[in-house]
Amino acid sequence: MRRLDKAFQAFFRRVKAGEKPGYPRFRGVNWFDTVDFPKDGDGCRWDSTPHDPVTRVRLQGVGHVRVHQHRPVKGHVKTVSIKREGRQWYVVLACDNVPAEPLPATGAVTGIDVGVTHFLTTSEGAHVENPRHGKRNAEALADAQRALKAFPRRKRADRSAKHRRAVEKVGNLHRKVRRQRTDHAHKAALALVRDYDQIAHERLNIANMVRTPKPKPDPETPGSFLPNGAASKAGLNRSILDAGWGVFLGILAQKAESAARVLIPVDPRNTSRTCPKCQHVDSENRDGEKFQCTSCQHINHADRVGAWNVALRAGLVLPDVA
Ligand SMILES: [Zn+2]
């Protein structure tokens, strides 16, 4: 009702202003997947039956709904959202005054390099593998998408039960990948936060990384183009998105804040091609997984060099990498 009211308010405002507004259009049941209640107690009530051991949420117009609560609520419930994912429904709570849970100091510091072959590498040289859930589930997803595409247009339009099931299957597989990805990110982030007081990481600009390279016109033959690395970049882009770095760094930041750990973002330029020993910068220094300085001949694992340089820039370690 609030969304409808907002749409009409905007419509009448435009009418009055003499503009040509479009009449608010009907939004069917599948249009929205969330309902937000900006304040607990206004249209909804979290834990509406506090004396009952079963947790319920009361929603205006729906009634008391039983909730499978997966962990205790900390702090004070501020907003409540109801979210639909396929056939599942979720209650999402945002809380105020959540007590921090600082972890005891370990005296250890590290730098991390996030990559495609390894999900991340620490400056001590420990790797966390990249699970590549997207790749692993790609076959099942491709099958489901093929099955969905096989529906004739007419049947797609009349939303037959078979078609609906095919749509659900694709959605379920996407959700599965997303859940696996966040689960992996949570575990990797928790391990780091438990082990280190200070963690340096590259300041990532994902939006930049996934941008398609500009077309490179061929000066010899006008109208044609030289290879611009778009194809190889497209592959890398997919892997970047697959690894879900942005998600990971967000989760790491949350956990670090709660545990009173320090995250230090550093300038990511040339971290993979700078020699951590003599600071010589050369793209020839790196060859796949192997790093060999063209100046001082220092040899190391390329990802570890990246992580060491990150820690170095944050002032956490000295240049004498082992
Ligand atoms: Zn060197």
pLDDT attached to residue 268 = 85
pLDDT attached to residue 108 = 95
pLDDT attached to residue 2 = 85
pLDDT attached to residue 235 = 55
Q: At 44, is the pLDDT very low, low, confident or very high (cuts 50, 70, 90)?
A: very high
Q: How far apart are the CA of 274 and the centre of ligand 1, in A?
A: 8
Q: How far apart are the CA of 106 and the centre of ligand 1, in A?
A: 31
pLDDT attached to residue 78 = 93
pLDDT in tens, 203-243: 876 555 555 556 666 667 666 666 665 555 555 555 555 55
pLDDT attached to residue 234 = 54
Q: How far apart are the CA of 230 and the centre of ligand 1, in A?
A: 32
pLDDT attached to residue 21 = 87
Residue environment code for 200-229, b if the CB has 16+ CB neighbours within 10 A, otherwise e: bbbebeeeeeeeeeeeeeeeeeeeeeeeee
Q: How far apart are the CA of 118 and the centre of ligand 1, in A?
A: 24
pLDDT attached to residue 149 = 86
Nearest-CA neighbor of 249 among 265, 268, 238?
265
Q: How far apart are the CA of 296 and the centre of ligand 1, in A?
A: 4
Q: How many other CB atoms are found less than 10 A from the CB of residue 277?
A: 17
Q: How far apart are the CA of 81 and the centre of ligand 1, in A?
A: 54
Q: Does residue 120 contact residue 112 with C-beta atoms inside 8 Å?
A: yes
Q: How far apart are the CA of 279 and the centre of ligand 1, in A?
A: 6
pLDDT in tens, 286-303: 988 899 999 999 999 999
CB-proximal residues (5 Å) to ion ligand 1: 275, 277-278, 280, 293, 295-296, 298
Q: What distance in Å separates the CA atoms of residue 187 and residue 251, rounded to the nearest whole number?
A: 10
Q: How far apart are the CA of 299 and the centre of ligand 1, in A?
A: 9
Query: Is 230 in a helix, a strand, or coil?
Result: helix
Q: How far apart are the CA of 233 and the centre of ligand 1, in A?
A: 28
pLDDT in tens, 144-189: 989 888 877 665 555 678 888 888 899 999 888 888 888 999 999 9
